Structure 1
């Protein structure tokens, strides 16, 4: 079973909102405005206590409200484009890395998220932060020691199990050693 994207989860939530609560998205946006509560966490608390929402759904609703009532995760293309807004020069290198990953892990899926790009096969085994001068490629390598190529992860977004990273600045860095690291990370997910 394929992992749902953030956009799919958000859209299912929006589509089921009226059946779940009796109010559609527009009505909830008005209710949040009318509550007069300004702080995000206070709105989440209010939605949980007065609206009967669980934490995840309350957080989704607050995120949509903060985004002007529009879905936050609308399309994966938009999510990816937003990540390249300050790093347009990195897109060609990103495309090379995605092709490299697809060649060695043909069953994997690339899922753009809000702050990073996830590569999954059963579960996330690699993550990419797009920076103006580099791509930070994160891996799930557990207690593996760090070395001159694979360092402690400094990524925004992915789960803490993405423990190590490789800084990619040039396509020539994509060699057998990186394939081996990706295989090790992939193996930990299966």
Structure 2
């Protein structure tokens, strides 16, 4: 990424200022624009993860199309936050190694992974969601065992807390233990 400060903001025809994201590579070959935010990235990186961008890269561009520093601009109808989240992960796969990811990050990858045919990202996030959000009571394991121990031993004062933990674990996307 560039260490140089971004140039002055430009105006869009609808008077919305265009800003550069921190995802801006000086040697990038394409500028993605989501809302009023631009991201300069590499076609090779996009196309290695997405058949959508791979196919788009092969399309010829009219000569009179606007460019940024010689790079074609691809306008995306997605939120700038979703695009930035996914691009950061494309350039830093260690982000997936984090033990816990916010639901907004998982959702961004699922939305754009499905839309732009980013199979590996989509599969990774769907699996992560499934791992953190079991589909059957048996998969909750220790929580069900906790309820059984509390009930079997007449520890009724602990029942509300134990039930609350089971309920919360079914609505949160991070492990409770």
TM-score by length of 2: 0.24
Using the size of structure 1 for normalisation, the TM-score is 0.22
